[in-house]
Amino acid sequence: MKIINQSDAEAICTKIQTTLFQNIQTTEKDWDIFRSLIKTVSYNKNEFLLQINEIENNIYCLLEGVVRKYTFKGTKEYTFDFHFPVKFFNSYSSYRQKTPSTIALQALSPALVLQFSRKSMEQLYEQAPNAKKTGRKMIEFALINTENKDAKINTQSPEDNYLELLNQNPKLVQNISGRHIASYLGITPESLSRIRKRISKS
Amino acid sequence: MKIINQSDAEAICTKIQTTLFQNIQTTEKDWDIFRSLIKTVSYNKNEFLLQINEIENNIYCLLEGVVRKYTFKGTKEYTFDFHFPVKFFNSYSSYRQKTPSTIALQALSPALVLQFSRKSMEQLYEQAPNAKKTGRKMIEFALINTENKDAKINTQSPEDNYLELLNQNPKLVQNISGRHIASYLGITPESLSRIRKRISKS
DNA sequence: CAAATTTATTAACTTAAGTCAATCTTTTTC
DNA sequence: GAAAAAGATTGACTTAAGTTAATAAATTTG
């Protein structure tokens, strides 16, 4: 984990501005404040943005790499989701309630991340009234995806789930190890192997 | 569906105040405003608080009864969750983004519900600054539960899931039809029958 | 680059979930 | 309260997931 210099952060911030906040009215001054609060951090493969039982104090925006969101059920890992650029996320319930996180966030490749600390978000709210919307929007981006996967995974067969994943996100399947994909699908790596074999025959 | 008279609502509101908002500083004036914005609604069994493809314009607080949150995957229903009193909920992504809801909210028994419309929430924010926290808290209550079930269901066997449900929420299992429980567990009613049989033998 | 570690595949076996269909039970409705 | 509808159980059959274990392939690390 390594904090990046501020001039890089500036370029990145512009990217955010143009891609994610097109519809929000913000003044130049708002953006100056926003920009000054960003911390850009790089993570190595397998490093943790957040460990289980830590308290979440950041909102993240992934710019490069892949991040895995997972938990433990007994001794087994369960992968909720994979995050790709450009996406906002964090461990929301831990962030909001200041309780130990039940989930971990781990980089699966070298990753570049914008981090907005709780403190900087509070500063943003105080100093840049117009940017309040930006803050809310970030939280929303981090939350809106929660109503989807559950239903998918639990209404069709593991094979159908895998085929759907292949279809909707081929680069995920190519770049992420099978055990993580199996953990995402709620099956064993052995089952995933068999599914792949079955598919290749048909 | 039937809107209840205001005097009943007053008593109910007191219940909310004492049970849910103990830690939030609100003035008497704030509470007067809050109270005036509440609509109390009763639903018959099987009636919908929200249908799929409707736009969500409310936040609900369930006072009596059971509500099921579900969706369709192809032709099959999938039940995300059951709500019991006293609980806040809505179709959050639809409410926030004003897009057609992918989930339905259905009363499984006669139900009594407080409804806070989008409009009344906006009024609350404008008129009662201290009550802003109340509004946020309601949303939080509605959201915090989203990081849990997924992992449970997908890391152990259907039988273990059922046993856990029996253990953690016996009244749910007693009061709700098997096909809904099966749909919650991601299995068929036939499988649930067999699981029950197996358990009763051991 | 070689050794060590991690990841992926395959096989043999057991177990249980899905499906289809029949029957029994409970609940709803007029 | 009788008829109809909805829900629950059981059986027979097929299919695939879990488990354990062995091996092969790929990646990491010194």
Say if B158 is an interface residue toward chain A (CB within 8 Å): no
User: A160-189 burial by CB neighbour count: b if 16+ within 10 A, else e?
Assistant: ebbeebeeeeeebeeebeeebbbbbbbbee
The string of pLDDT tens digits covering residues A188-198 is 999 999 999 99
Residue B201 has pLDDT above 80, yes or no: no
- Residue A152 near chain B (CB below 8 Å): yes
In this prediction, residue B32 carries a pLDDT of 80
Instruction: List chain A residues with CB under 8 Å of B97.
Output: 144
B1 and chain A in contact, CB less than 8 A = no
Distance from B153 to chain A by nearest Cα, in Å? 8
A35 — pLDDT class (breaks 50, 70, 90): confident
Best mean pLDDT range from A102-106, B69-73, B198-202: A102-106
For the stretch A36-54, pLDDT in tens is 888 889 999 999 999 999 9
Which candidate from B91, B156, B186 shows the least CB-CB separation from A154?
B186
Nearest by CB to A147, from B73, B102, B144: name it: B102
Per the structure, the residues numbered 138 to 157 in protein chain B that have their CB within 7 angstroms of any atom of strand C are 157
Three-state secondary structure call for residue B40: strand
pTM to 2 decimal places? 0.86
The CA-atom distances, in angstroms, between A34 and each of A26, A42, A112, A123 are 10, 20, 18, 9
In this complex, is the C-beta atom of A99 within 8 Å of any C-beta atom belonging to chain B? no
